[in-house]
Homo-oligomer: A and B are copies of this chain.
């Protein structure tokens, strides 16, 4: 099992006054990888939004910054599914440079909401099945 890989170059305008990639922009890039991943597994966000039945708002986001990231660096985001719950799933994003060094790790928790309802709803079975092949490999998970 391999994580999903998404590549990007740190842009001129992603760097802050301290000369390193602004921490919040890493979440933006993680979300870009999430969008690309969801398209790959058959659930493009623009289609989900158009249908308007299910929504997957974030309940939580977190990141650990290991080594500052600089303008012009080319990074990979390794994305895998670290947990699938009854009505939510958690994604893990590892920001790795071309030497394979982890520069940052991020996680987002997505909850399934049915439009108009106040409480969360069980994950659609099709989405659950689409996520399962991407569960984080045991050895790769940074917690190990």
Contact = CB atoms under 8 A, between A and B. Distances in A.
A60 B65 contact: yes
Contact of A24 (B31, B55, B64): B31
A18 B72 CA distance: 13
Interface string A44-73: 111001000001011111111100101110
Nearest to A57: B68
A74 to B, nearest CB: 11
A99 interface: no
Interface of A: 9, 11-13, 15-20, 22-25, 27-28, 31-32, 35-36, 44-46, 49, 55, 57-65, 68, 70-72, 108
